[in-house]
Structure 1
């Protein structure tokens, strides 16, 4: 452990030279082409933005730039020298580091222990020199102006402090190229401002950043250059000052202004009764209050990027999360906060975000999974009659075209798309008055996606209120209106007929009409 590798320079030497060059990178996972002949050049002393919709290829590119995976084709160079061999982890750490949205700090260790994990100073008999470790950690943090005590338990750090400690740890290896993956997703406005000041200070000390964010307004605040990926390909690289907001969003979506989200379906009648009322809901302390209603037969989208709060609000409505404040009522009856049984009793059906952890029990049969929320419908006095259970399951299997030899097959034996249909079937088994779908088509094929979204049209025609919580445009096209969340608050409501560019811009916190 030595402080020589971690000392800041007097500023970026040879400003503008390429600190990393990636050319003709391609990566395939089975039949999925995750990256197709993509290149990026990041110049020393800059903050270079990497943007794109979900599935654009950003995560795959980061995994290649950090040496976690090898490209199928193409080359990567740092400061003009070829990237280290894939197994040379020390070589990669000396060139590049990524601060991920999900922290890699170990909460049960101190800050100093996290900084020098597995490379602690050793004293007599090979024992850890704790005084030396704390001294080196204090020197490292001071050198990069990180105001944290190395003796402090990492569990007590805030999100902002954890990010700075991770940056300092990366710099201690000698890396001067740092990738920031959604660094502002869970920060409030004041913390974002402080983070940007730290970025500018570190730039002046010779550090270069690749900045990944779904909040496009931040690109204009902190970045010099922007690269856009779309559908695994490179679309655009240009100075930020030369890219209008309209052009940036169009590059991400592939759509020009005028692409409307309407499909001609009539909206529910104006006198349709209110099914869902959300009043003053705060999903965590100090989060903005959220209030809205959904009427019978209405499909309302809740959209937003990472960290917007859309999933947390939805989970608060269905009882998976206990909100910090506010109330939820279904057909005028208050629903006990944080209680899934209370939500089910009120007539709420749910397709959760993570089908593997929350959506089904893999080794139980399709029939058992589909009917587990409606035992009263399966036999008298709490007894389950297998024939009744299987009959209900077959009806739902046929309705959602689940490909299976029969209801007795374990759900683990189904494809991902059919597993998601089972989750939808369970949500529909109770004939819900309110159906909440959280990212309902993530990871499913096109045909399964069409089936799932067709089911939404069928239930809304029966008077069910539907909420679709997603940032996928295809999921939201069937909505009568879309509530767009940004940094925890409902920032905008968009009626049917919205344009793709307008909706994406709203989710990214960008005003397309800003000059």
Structure 2
């Protein structure tokens, strides 16, 4: 891949990226969240079309127009967000799109036997080909996705964070499969944030930063961790963060989390958030950050530990309990998890506050509209039309609508998960100011962001999360991006 460029509205995701992979090689692709890794492999897989650049396959220029054309070339991709069909069996998922069939009929027994051989090759003979994929745990689904890639005559397999949901024994099996593949001449592009994996299984390393190739061909086993982190840090775009406010560190905390755990996701998380304080959770995708926030909100049920707001313990697994206590959530995926995309701005803002506008089982629409319009004006939502469908707004303005929802509700604790994802640079600065203004009004804020500079620039205190555990707690202005990356990639507790 040479000079690959891909632009989305408001962001240049790839800006002339180069990547070359040789037969029988494990080529590791590194970079912070947002560096362009996922976009690059989607271009290679045919899911995105590049705006510029060339792709050569076995010495000839090719155009990969869709995922099937990539598969016909012998390129298979295992995505971090698995694209399986829960209602189909394991065998049906593995051979989806290239069914073992004749005369229009699928050979079910033959399909099951072929799927079983692939599962045995991956070291998981206990997974039944006839089990519905939706009944499998996350690790089982990952194995099925790998089996599907192996069911094709592949010459290159792209693996995006394949070990994120696997235990150590399963990771060791995965590495064994990778070694078998490379001995047969199959090339592997391996994406991971875990440097110990890169050193164990990788041959060469390419590092992306801000959509550009900053280093390629580095020896995986010999390149020092400090050099890899140096290449990954630093940014071409600097965001202007508002000045940190002041909060009374001696005040009783609004939010207290004690030894919060959820099996398989995170363990023994403890921290406080005072009125007007912003606490940031820094870590890589899959480290447990979002799971912690969702468990505090009650969208997931904790295994152990306690969450209290103003000293009142929240009922585990109860969103109703959290909202009643004054907790609001701006989730990671605002389009699918927060907004009603075909409803108006008014309806989206008023949703958790409808009881305020109800009388005798009827909603007073004029009062509802007036209250929502006040939030639209306060947050400078553009265009300032409360009746407009929220799907027609930009990402930054959609995020303002989600914030407006909780401002109208009047929450004491605001949980922000990736508040600037998909938001352009100009809108980011506005959102940063809004978040700081909320803190100045006494709201306790817990912030998650994949962009480490964003966490360090906005937060007063920062917790660094690695593999579901807190490995560092301290003032945000006493740790830098380089140190955070070192902690999350090495996982050492300080």
In which range does the TM-score fall when normalised by the shorter chain? 0.7 to 0.9
In the alignment, the residues of structure 2 paired with residue 462 and residue 388 of structure 1 have an alpha-carbon distance, to the nearest angstrom, of 25
Secondary structure of the residue aligned to 1:42 is coil
Residues 1:431 and 2:410 are matched in the alignment: yes
Q: Give the aligned partner of residue 174 of structure 1.
A: 153
Match of 1:323 among 289, 302, 305: 302
CA contact (8 A) 1:297 1:465 kept: yes
In the alignment, the residues of structure 2 paired with residue 191 and residue 140 of structure 1 have an alpha-carbon distance, to the nearest angstrom, of 15
Q: Give the aligned partner of residue 305 of structure 1.
A: 284
In the alignment, the residues of structure 1 paired with residue 362 and residue 59 of structure 2 have an alpha-carbon distance, to the nearest angstrom, of 72
Summarize the alignment of residues 180-259 of structure 1 with structure 2, pairs less than 5 Å apart: 180-237=159-216, 238-254=218-234
CA contact (8 A) 2:24 2:181 kept: no
In the alignment, the residues of structure 1 paired with residue 67 and residue 366 of structure 2 have an alpha-carbon distance, to the nearest angstrom, of 60
- Distance 1:441-1:84 versus aligned 2 partners, 3 A rule: closer
Residues 1:419 and 2:398 are matched in the alignment: yes
Q: Structure 1: which 5+ residue stretches go unaligned?
A: 1-21
In the alignment, the residues of structure 2 paired with residue 508 and residue 245 of structure 1 have an alpha-carbon distance, to the nearest angstrom, of 9
Q: Give the aligned partner of residue 28 of structure 1.
A: 7
- Tell me how far 1:255 sits from its aligned partner: 5.9
Once structures 1 and 2 are overlaid, which stretch shifts more, 125-134 or 177-186? 125-134
Write out per-residue CA displacement over residues 113-153 of structure 1, whole angstroms, 9 at most, x where no aligned residue. 44434544457x66444444444445555567663566442
- Distance 1:394-1:166 versus aligned 2 partners, 3 A rule: closer
- Tell me how far 1:242 sits from its aligned partner: 4.0
Match of 1:485 among 439, 462, 465: 465
Residues 1:147 and 2:117 are matched in the alignment: no
Q: Give the aligned partner of residue 60 of structure 1.
A: 39
Once structures 1 and 2 are overlaid, which stretch shifts more, 461-470 or 90-99? 90-99
- Tell me how far 1:331 sits from its aligned partner: 0.5
Q: Structure 2: which 5+ residue stretches go unaligned?
A: none
Q: Give the aligned partner of residue 424 of structure 2.
A: 445
- Tell me how far 1:94 sits from its aligned partner: 4.7
Write out per-residue CA displacement over residues 4-62 of structure 1, whole angstroms, 9 at most, x where no aligned residue. xxxxxxxxxxxxxxxxxx22222334664332222111122222111222332222221
State TM-score, norm by structure 2. 0.87
- Distance 1:131-1:250 versus aligned 2 partners, 3 A rule: same
RMSD: 3.3
In the alignment, the residues of structure 2 paired with residue 141 and residue 403 of structure 1 have an alpha-carbon distance, to the nearest angstrom, of 52
CA contact (8 A) 1:400 1:451 kept: no
Once structures 1 and 2 are overlaid, which stretch shifts more, 95-104 or 202-211? 202-211
- Tell me how far 1:168 sits from its aligned partner: 3.9
- Tell me how far 1:109 sits from its aligned partner: 4.1
- Tell me how far 1:450 sits from its aligned partner: 1.9
Once structures 1 and 2 are overlaid, which stretch shifts more, 356-365 or 113-122? 113-122
State TM-score, norm by structure 1. 0.84
Secondary structure of the residue aligned to 2:464 is strand
In the alignment, the residues of structure 2 paired with residue 461 and residue 30 of structure 1 have an alpha-carbon distance, to the nearest angstrom, of 32
CA contact (8 A) 1:216 1:508 kept: yes
In the alignment, the residues of structure 1 paired with residue 64 and residue 471 of structure 2 have an alpha-carbon distance, to the nearest angstrom, of 47
In the alignment, the residues of structure 1 paired with residue 375 and residue 191 of structure 2 have an alpha-carbon distance, to the nearest angstrom, of 42
- Tell me how far 1:179 sits from its aligned partner: 0.7
Once structures 1 and 2 are overlaid, which stretch shifts more, 79-88 or 502-511? 79-88
What is the aligned residue count?
Answer: 489
Flag the structure with larger Rg: 1
Write out per-residue CA displacement over residues 486-507 of structure 1, whole angstroms, 9 at most, x where no aligned residue. 2222222242222121123333
Write out per-residue CA displacement over residues 140-179 of structure 1, whole angstroms, 9 at most, x where no aligned residue. 5556766356644253555445444443443342213211
Write out per-residue CA displacement over residues 245-303 of structure 1, whole angstroms, 9 at most, x where no aligned residue. 222122222269xx9x9976365333111111122322346742322221222110122
In the alignment, the residues of structure 1 paired with residue 485 and residue 196 of structure 2 have an alpha-carbon distance, to the nearest angstrom, of 12
